[in-house]
Structure 1
Amino acid sequence: MWWPTPDIAPQRKDDPGPLFPWQALAMQGIGAWPDPARVAFYLNGKPRDELVEPKVLLDLLARYGYEVTDNMTNAQQKRAIVAFQMHFRPARWDGVADRETLAIAEALLESYGQG
């Protein structure tokens, strides 16, 4: 079972990182993982690396439970995106607000609700 946490705060602490077995744990019922079919649905045939407006992605991360505020610096915004990507897209965590990261966030919110 997954419990949402209100304390996803990449500005204050680091998650274990991209090598941590997040997906394997989720498959055992510990934690969340996006459904690949729903990620594909939200990609809607668009390129995974297509840039999106960072604010749109950050708003979704805030809804999911990440500590995101309107007065964050660009560096802080990037750190929040990197933290999300390391957890849910460990193959590429560059901090860029792209279509795939957005689709992952949308799929997670659909499956697990708002944090």
Structure 2
Amino acid sequence: FGKIVTSFVNDILMPPIAMLVGDSKFAELKVVLKEAVLQGEEILAPAITWNYGAFIQAVIDFLIIGISIFFVIKAMNSMKRKKEEAPAPEAPPAPTKEEILLTEIRDLLKKD
């Protein structure tokens, strides 16, 4: 499930957002805090960057997974509540006056 969400975010959701921002890959958005130290074409010290694009992508992954789990658990709890609220079988109706009278007559006849 996590890989599906990651693919959805990376391949479906982020390209239009990257297009709006003006960068080709959203995950590569960053702020350069310190430039790389170069000597000719050789890099002596790499640049220090704050990679906020990758972080935003991870947050969106987390939110989609969290919301999905929330709705699954909510649906399960709803089904569980419906089972618990099922009406209990009704008690048999109380005997009518006529039945009570007939029962008393039967009991009196048995004594004799």
Give the structure-1-normalised TM-score: 0.25
The structure whose residues are more often strand, as a share, is: 2
The structure whose residues are more often helix, as a share, is: 2
- Greater relative CO (CA pairs within 8 A, separation 6+): 1
Give the structure-2-normalised TM-score: 0.26
